[in-house]
Structure 1
C-alpha cells in the first residue's frame, strides 16, 4: 500500500515531515496559546518533533542553560560562553529547515529575533541577536545550517547570549528541548558541541534506528548524491525492512520513497514529502526472494528479486 498521510507511525527517533504549508506565525513573541505538543496524537497518529542541530557553526561548543525558575518562557535555553569560545558575535544558524521570519522589538523583550516555522509546523526562536541577514518583516526559506544572524544582547538581554526556544505548532514551549542529540531539561546546564553545517551527509538517523531492534543492513544502493536506500533483515522473525535516507535538503520536505515486494506478493510502498527518510517498510518473507528499492526526488533504485534465503 502507498502511505500518503502527512502524519506517520511512531518508530525509534522517527520524524517524517509532511509537505505542509508553513503555519501562521504568532504575532507577539509573548503569545503562546494552549496546544498539543509535538509527540501528541493527531487524527489517530503520532506527530513527531523536528530533529535539531545546535544553532552554531560546526565544531563550536557552548553551554545550553535551561534555567530553573524565573526564566521566561519556562523551558527556553540561554546559550552562553563555554571555555575559549566566546558566544558574543557568533554566527547563528537555523537548527532545522523551514521558513524564517525576521523581527525587531527594539529595546524590549526579544530585541532582534527570528522565528523559523518547520515543515511539521513546529517552531524555533532565536532572540537578542546583534544582526540579522534580513530586515524586520522579511521572510526567507532556510535549510538546516542556514545563517540567520549573529549573537548579541539586544532587547531585554542583560548580557550577550542567544535566547533559543523550541515550540509546538500552536506555541507551547518544549521544556526539555533536544539539540545535536543532547536533551536539556529545566534546571540543567550542558555543554553542546555543534555538528551544524559540518558538510557531507548529516542525516541524524540510521537505517537500523528507523527499522527498529533486531534489524541489520544486508544490502544498500546509492541514489546518486541525494541519498541511499537500504535493505535490512531481522533473523529473529524473518522480517525484511526497507528505508531510504536523504543526504540533501535535510529537514526540508521533499519527495522520498521506499518499497518492498516479496516474490509472488503485492508491493508495499511508503512515499511522500519527508525531511529525512521514507520507511520503514516491513514485510515477512522468510525463504522468499524480495525486490526492494526507493527514491529521492527523480533518482531511484529498483533491485532484482534477490536475497532469497
Structure 2
C-alpha cells in the first residue's frame, strides 16, 4: 500500500510540476520581442497606442528633437510570418509613409514629419485593421475604428 501511495504522490507531483511549468511559460511566450523604441529609435516616445484586436498593438511615437512621428505595429505573440502593416499620414500636408508585408514580429517603422499637425495612423495584423484619425490634435477628439476583413 505504501508503494502505491508513493507512486500516486510522485505522479501527482509530476503532473503539478508540468502544469506549473506550462502555466509559467505561457506569459513569457506571449510577450512581444520588441518595443516601439527598439523599432523607431530610442529618442521616440510613445504618445498613443491602439489595440489591433487581440493580436497586438499599433503605436504612435514622437521625436521632439526632429518633429517626426513614427508608427509601428507589434504582435503580442511573434511567430510565423503573417500580413502586417503600419502607416502614418498627415492630412493637412499630405505627407505619409507606410509599410506592408509578411512579418513575424512587427511592421514598420514608418516616419513622417508632423510637428504641430493632426495625425492619422494605424496598422494591421492578419485580417484585423485598426485606424486612428485626428490624433494628437489638442482639444479635438480622435476617432478610432477596428474592423475585420
Q: How does 1:54-93 map to 2 (within 5 A)?
A: none
Quote the Cα distance in structure 2 between the aligned partners of 1:266 and 1:215: 19
Quote the residue 2:54 is aligned against. Answer: 225
1:198 CA displacement: 3.9
Unaligned runs of 5+ in 2: 1-23, 139-149
Quote the Cα distance in structure 2 between the aligned partners of 1:306 and 1:225: 22
* CA distance 1:287–1:247, change in 2 (3 Å): same
1:223 CA displacement: 1.1
1:197 CA displacement: 4.7
RMSD of aligned alpha carbons? 2.0
1:269 aligns to 2:107 (yes or no): no
Quote the Cα distance in structure 1 between the aligned partners of 2:98 and 2:137: 20
Quote the Cα distance in structure 1 between the aligned partners of 2:41 and 2:28: 27
1:296 CA displacement: 0.5
1:267 CA displacement: 3.0
SS in 1 for 2:133: coil
Give the one of 248, 252, 255 matched to 2:83.
255
Can you list the C-alpha shifts for 1:184-207, whole angstroms capped at 9, x where unaligned? xxxxxxxxxxx9654563211001
Quote the Cα distance in structure 2 between the aligned partners of 1:236 and 1:300: 30
Q: TM-score scaled by structure 1?
A: 0.35
1:218 CA displacement: 0.5
Give the one of 259, 266, 291 matched to 2:120.
291
Quote the Cα distance in structure 2 between the aligned partners of 1:245 and 1:254: 12
Corresponding residue pairs, total = 115
1:273 CA displacement: 0.5
Quote the Cα distance in structure 1 between the aligned partners of 2:124 and 2:50: 10
SS in 2 for 1:208: helix
* CA distance 1:200–1:251, change in 2 (3 Å): closer
Unaligned runs of 5+ in 1: 1-194
Quote the residue 2:72 is aligned against. Answer: 243
Can you list the C-alpha shifts for 1:193-241, whole angstroms capped at 9, x where unaligned? xx96545632110011110021010000011111110000011111100
Quote the residue 1:207 is aligned against. Answer: 36
SS in 1 for 2:31: coil
1:304 aligns to 2:141 (yes or no): no
Quote the Cα distance in structure 1 between the aligned partners of 2:120 and 2:27: 35
Quote the Cα distance in structure 2 between the aligned partners of 1:253 and 1:200: 16
Higher strand proportion (structure 1 or 2): 2
